[in-house]
Structure 1
Amino acid sequence: MQGILVSILVGLCTGVGALPFLFIKKVPQALKDGLLGFASGIMVFASSFNLIQPALKDGNLLSVIGGIIIGTMILTFIEHLIPHTHTKNYDENDDSSVLKKNILLAIAVAIHNVPEGFAIGVGYGTGNVSTGLSLALAIGVQNIPEGLVVAAPLIEGGYPRGKALLFSFLTGIGEPIAAAIGFFAARLTDKLLPFILSIAAGAMFYVVSHELIPESHCNNNEMLATYGFIIGLILMIIFRTVIGE
């Protein structure tokens, strides 16, 4: 139950990222890209040390590799169901193209929150509160810039602020549902736990490599996004050191 409640709060963090738009209308693109890089660094660390490391400890190499592949394939299948494109592939002077891009971006973030919620549920399902809390904090922090990235183009394109904020909050609605599935899946049998952890990690690696990093490199801010990535990693190293294993 605690994991599901925490996942609700984590899902709401996407809306928190949109709150600055109550006071401002435009956020510099460089800041958005830097924050996406920052979120990527957090996700890579959380997936590697909070999912893959315990999976390797309690399982075997084959189950971990298989889980990563399955997680990647699941997200690839979803990508084919609801394809979307990165910022550079749209004509900024075409209003319908921009609107389509913004809607697809929001859908993409909502889809990405599903494996993240699943990972939180799995983390708590292990019985290790520290693992669940670490994953929840990492994903919550990286959800904030995602919420900003969802709301920014909508508001800048003339969308009412209230609707854009609501849209941003709604992108996190799948997290508690996925967390419940992950929690009960992890509780089914200890033997499957390393495999389930690896599936969650594979899905999160896919999100970072296929979505967050390419999106952060679309606007000639690659270096800023890279530094954001490193800062995200460092932050998680500090956090892990402070709370322990």
Structure 2
Amino acid sequence: MMGDHFSEDSLRAVLGRRQFRFFEQVGSTQDLAREWATAEPNLPSGAVVVAEEQTAGRGRQGRQWISPPDSAIMCSIIFRPRIRPEQLPRLTMVGGLAVAETFAPMLPQGFTLKWPNDAMMNGKKLCGILSEATWVGDQLVAVVVGIGINIRTQFAGTDLEGAATSLETEMGRSVDRRDLLAALLARTDAWAGRVNETALINSWRGWLGTIGKQVRIYDPVDGQLVFTGIAQDVDSDGTLLVKLESGEVRRVIAADVGLAED
């Protein structure tokens, strides 16, 4: 529905006491959230930056994520987790599970999570998730989880036609982005409170469409193919375990690779 334009007042009505900052247009909600988290050490977990339009958003490995007004949900959520550095990917799991539990029940069959940070609908990208840690020296200040969901973005006639889709396209009806944002944040709160539980990884694994598929691993710098294999599983911190034809199992860390599913 096109009457769901974000504003300070409309967001306050659905977000209640949650601390948030709203901007009509930003370069990147991630940058603003990281600055906010650093400037206000007492800012609670769950505070969120929301934008109506994003002109310089980014995905994993610096990929661009631009969204016009009224077309998407673009938010960056601040968390203050007590976790070890190697557990940081668990915040990506929090975002992925929140997206899955909010949107999958609204959709026909075909929703999956793609390791490490995309939500897919029948092979087309519906949502991207980006987790970034903010440090002061060796002290973890916050983890900012950015979530960008295509709600009514139109991809026909663009380079992304056939590769990306939107919620309303898949549902065949209009939705209210404000209510969806509130529901999404409620799910991130719930899973962030369980970030140290095995239920988090087990639930996330259950949504992964990558497991069991032939995957190609690419060098993120030059795009060269490194190896191919079968995605067997993920470990407790989200590392992908890929079995090569030789029988060797390699551990694949999200920050180090590009991945394509066959």
Q: TM-score, normalised by structure 1?
A: 0.27
**Higher relative contact order at CA 8 Å, sep ≥6: structure 1 or structure 2?**
1
If each structure's helix is expressed as a fraction of its own residues, which one has the higher value? 1
Q: TM-score, normalised by structure 2?
A: 0.26
If each structure's strand is expressed as a fraction of its own residues, which one has the higher value? 2
